[in-house]
A and B are shown apart, each in its own frame.
Chain A
Amino acid sequence: MKHIELIELIYKHRDLIDDAFKGEKIKHLPSELIDDVAVFQKVAKQYELSDSYTQFANAMLKRVDANYTFGDYNEEIKLLMKRKSDFLISGEKEILQRIKELVRILYKKIEQRDILINARVNDIVNDNELSIELIIKDARDVNERIEELIEAHAENIKVLGKELRGLDEELDEMLVDIGLDMLPFSENIHLYIKRLSDFILRTEKRKLQNKKISSLFNKISKEADYELKALLLSNHQIYMHTVKERKTGLVKHVPSKMELKKTSFLNLLSCTLKIKKTERRAIVDRPYQVSKTSELKAIRLELIQQDALRDKPQDLYSYILGHAELDKFKEDKLDKSYAFKVYLTVVQNNRENIVLMDEKYNNNNIKVAKWI
């Protein structure tokens, strides 16, 4: 088979190979993918992608192999324990020196591992190229690998912190320093697990969300999105008021009938604003007046004086009140008031002919004036 034919073959079965790459089980496989080229291999009656193809794909996609294991350093620990028993038997200084060297190397490896795990976790969390299925699979794999480390890491700390103590003063000092420096690594392992677990949860939620939003779109396009409509309308008070929003305009709404009633509008307004009561002073402005016919009434003072001169009345006020000239005021009941005005005028004008009787008042409580 030529190279171009290989590419064509892979392209022909791209969906199948991609499914297998994402970890799905393949039931029916065309024989050309097993016999002609070893893209797949049979493992315990199941077909899975061959290691060589997986390695090729990972290298091309710049992915770290999901099967990459972070070192647990069991071998180093075993060697340290062996060196310890050798030292206890022989007491050789050279063995002690080797132990110190080995502890230093182990610490450096653990530090290096921490950097590597951190980088791997960052790669996964920040990778935006891989498909959502693949990234979840990667995250799960790495999470498992880190979980496996917890126990091994505890064992490392136990050996470095306890088992190797008491052999030599200088070594003890070194172990204390290393023990302190390793504290953040122990914390980090748990942080990485938490970060990845959160990421997996979040990404799976997003995957479900995408499925839902896609299905919702299908319903919207068929105008069958009853659930969306029911949800929005039954809870509209918690959803954004989206009517007629514009860059320049304010939120608008069509007022209800109740709001349009004058009294309820005033109530709403007085709830919102504090209104001060002001005195209302209407300006009286009457530039034109409708003309009315008015009757002018006058008293002929001369006539009454002449009559009084002739009759010489004993009580001037009663005489004036009974005079025919005052009759025109009777209908308005103004006769007494006009009679008094005439009485005063006549008395004033005819002082020499009138005598005012001291302490003598008539029925109307008016001093009696006598004409002489």
Chain B
Amino acid sequence: MDIAKVFETLSEGKIISANSSQHSDIANMLLTDSFFDEVNELVNQIGYRLNKEGGYFYISKKKKLTAQEQQAFLSKNRDLIVAIAFLRHLYPRIDRGSTVSFVDTVVTYGNAKRDDSSIKDKLTYFSWIRNKDDEKGMMEQLFKHLEDRNVIEKVQNSNTDKYKVLDSINYYLSIVDSIETGEE
């Protein structure tokens, strides 16, 4: 593992979580201050910034975003916030380090929908599947999206049901915390 590999992974727009098994080698290296500074210096020269929050790393752009970038930037963050809102609706105490099962989620969703139908809105808002009655399909899509964006990862590669919630969930939750909704 060298600086080039770390840069390659970060430049894919991934958040690297310290509790991720998949990226544990990168996270361990970035936890070393001298290596962190070295990578930061490198990305700084090409207009980016390496950020370190509680247990996760990512790069951000220093200069102003273009209109096209702004649009993509907002919609990506929105999508993830909606996906996490869906999970928190079902599991109010889910957080970094928790495990979540896809099959259980389908069952819990069914129960939750009977009490509060607004949960379906979260799922349908998120999904771009045309058939809004294919709830299992939409949920598969949601899990896939969360996995692609490095918010959850499979506990074992062979097991497609159990997922671990990564430290990066706090990136999105901290955005939620920072917002003054004026309703509190």
Interface residues, chain A, CB within 8 Å of chain B? 128, 131-132, 135, 203, 206-217, 219-221, 225, 227-229, 231-233, 236-247, 249-251, 253-254, 256, 271-272
Contact = CB atoms under 8 A, between A and B. Distances in A.
B45 A241 contact: no
B74 A229 contact: yes
Contact of B93 (A203, A220, A271): A203
A58 to B, nearest CB: 20
Given A217-B81, A220-B81, A232 B74 contact: yes
Interface stretch (B24-32, B65-73, B132-140): B65-73
B175 interface: yes
Given A216-B176, A216-B181, A241 B59 contact: yes
A221 B119 CA distance: 12
Contact of A228 (B13, B122, B175): B175
B11 A213 contact: no
Contact of A242 (B68, B76, B85, B121): B76
A86 B74 CA distance: 80
Given A215-B181, A217-B82, A240-B58, A271 B73 contact: no
A272 B14 contact: no
Nearest to B14: A245
A contact patch SS: helix
B11 A236 contact: no
B51 interface: yes
A45 B85 CA distance: 41
Given A217-B82, A221-B121, A209 B13 contact: no
A118 to B, nearest CB: 21
- Enumerate the 9 nearest inter-chain pairs by beta-carbon distance, A residue then B residue, closest first: A245-B13, A242-B76, A240-B58, A217-B85, A251-B11, A132-B92, A213-B85, A241-B61, A250-B11
A213 B176 contact: yes
Given A132-B92, A203-B93, A241-B13, A236 B66 contact: no
Contacts of A131: 92
A212 B125 contact: no
A236 B181 CA distance: 19
Nearest to A229: B74
Contacts of B180: 227
B66 A256 contact: yes
Given A209-B173, A238-B60, A232 B77 contact: yes
15 contacts: A128-B93, A203-B93, A208-B184, A210-B88, A212-B176, A215-B181, A219-B181, A220-B78, A232-B77, A236-B64, A240-B13, A240-B58, A242-B77, A243-B69, A250-B12
Interface string B153-171: 0000000000000000001
B142 interface: no
A241 B58 CA distance: 8
Interface in B115-133: 121-122, 125
Contacts of A213: 81, 84-85, 88, 173, 176
Given A213-B84, A213-B88, A232-B73, A237 B62 contact: yes
Contacts of A233: 65, 70, 73-74
B89 interface: yes
Given A217-B125, A237-B61, A250-B8, 11 more contacts: A212-B177, A216-B179, A217-B81, A220-B125, A228-B77, A231-B179, A232-B175, A241-B13, A245-B13, A256-B63, A272-B45
Contacts of A211: 184
B143 interface: no
Contacts of A221: 121, 125
